[in-house]
Amino acid sequence: MNHRETLGYLESKGNEVQMMHLGLHRTVAMLAALGDPHLQYPAVHIAGTNGKGSVAAMTEAILRAAGLRTGMYTSPHLVRVEERMRVDGVPVAAGAFAALGTRVRRAEEALLGDGTMDRPLTTFEFLTCCAFLHFARRRVDVAVLEVGLGGKLDATNVVTPLASVVTGVALDHQQYLGDTVRKIAAEKAGVIKKGVPAVSGCGDPAAQDVMRRRAAAVKTTLLELGRDFHVLDARMRGGRCTMDLQTPMRRYAGLRLALAGGYQARNAALAVAAVEAMGARWGARDAAQGREGFPVTIDAVRRGLAGTRWEGRLDEYAAVRRTLLDGAHNPEAALLLRDHLLARKEGELHMVFGAVRDKNIREVGAAVFPLAKRIYLTPLFNTRTSSPEEVAAMFPEHRERMEVCKDMRSALRAAWRNCPGKGLTVVTGSLYLVGALLPAVQKSAAGRA
């Protein structure tokens, strides 16, 4: 397959959420046919309702700052599917992605032909296998893997990592993971494995209890934010944080974070704790192989956190109007966006909003809509999209400030046109929306640079 054919084949598999079939047997069978590439490098495995992408990006940046060749697998992508699998921060090239897709498709056809697999790989399973194979071919030193959905039955959960992380648990994807925090936590706790140190940022008592029970059941160490490691001081300036951190190993003073938002302090703490946790197991692994020890230093932690880039999350550009893109798509994430905007004491806000219909749009809108002078509602290029009319009907109290737009680009143009020079345009509600508008925002910002 060439690149276009590879993208077409992925599209033929259908929406990766709607066509999802949780389970590990297909992924295990495929990886065995590919030579088990996921066993050729150590990994860090990151689950959680919110923050797992930021924690993955910070972890990868720290490891790369230490001189390691890194692989990072995340989802969903914003603009190009190749963004999901990166080596040393660089997305896989289109030609290389097509070659990976061709290899996996041929193996898929063979496994279906001999009855080894019961059905074709889902979109996410297919991409996960491509990523594992890509990292093996590029001979990465370590891979940072973000769970797609849940944990226990997610396609990434075929690894035995050096460290596992659960960033936190909130209500999201209830139709797949359960209708309570405890049920969802049980799914995410599936990434915690015997002998693998686990790091938890769970604040909800029910989620904490689930993580502790899981760690005890598999007889492994659980490091909890607020109990075993602590953010001692977090100072905000210009929307970004400088923090002090106490871990079981040491105290870090004056860590500067590149990612915006006060909540990134806890994400940074989780990333540092994960890197420290994997260090001991890395050392034992290298000693057995006669290799040098774990190379991460305090300086690497500082440089990694100060240089982390993660687009689409409190991501601000000096475009036609100052524009902030944030893919907040559930109530917890929407509250974090609200708190960030309130802390910044922004003046007039104009908000572009679009969401998928299976999300809790009522609570997301309740958190962020009161901040906006005007709200521009748009459909998404997604089979799960809510219509602007559906969203408007949910919020009669805000209807006079809402404008129904035919598409995402027209919504952005309307927001820019009406937003005053000192105002802020906010794009939020879905990563699909952020990804669709990011190129236009970046192009505008580049033209004004």
Beta bridge partner(s), residue 234 = 243
DSSP state of 42: -
> Which two three-digit tokens encode residue 402?
């809402």
> Cα–Cα–Cα angle for 116, 121, 122, nearest 5°?
150
Which backbone phi and psi does 325 adopt, to 5 degrees?
-110, 130
The domain limits of the chain are 3-307, 315-442
Pairing of strands 251-260, 240-246: antiparallel
Query: Nearest-CA neighbor of 125 among 211, 194, 23, 50?
Result: 23
* Cα–Cα dist 294/63, whole Å: 10
Q: Are 251 and 42 in contact (CB under 8 A)?
A: no
Q: What is the pLDDT of residue 60?
A: 98
* Cα–Cα dist 379/355, whole Å: 7
pTM confidence score = 0.93
* Cα–Cα dist 210/152, whole Å: 13
Per-residue pLDDT tens over the stretch 83-136: 999 999 999 999 999 999 999 999 999 999 999 998 999 999 999 999 999 999
- What CATH number belongs to 315-442? 3.90.190.20
Fold of 3-307: UDP-N-acetylmuramoyl-L-alanine:D-glutamate ligase (3.40.1190)
Q: What is the pLDDT of residue 359?
A: 86
Query: Nearest-CA neighbor of 226 among 270, 261, 184, 278?
Result: 270
Is 3-307's fold the same as 315-442's? Answer: no
Q: What is the pLDDT along the chain (449 residues), one digit of tens a residue?
A: 999 999 999 999 886 665 667 779 999 999 999 999 999 999 999 999 889 999 999 999 999 999 999 999 999 999 999 999 999 999 999 999 999 999 999 999 999 999 999 899 999 999 999 999 999 999 999 999 999 988 899 999 999 999 999 999 876 655 556 668 899 999 999 999 999 999 999 999 999 999 999 999 999 999 999 999 999 989 998 889 999 999 999 999 999 999 999 899 999 999 999 999 998 778 655 544 545 567 789 999 999 999 999 999 999 999 999 999 999 989 989 999 999 999 888 889 999 999 998 889 999 999 999 999 999 999 998 778 899 999 999 999 999 999 999 999 999 999 999 999 999 999 999 999 999 999 999 999 998 75
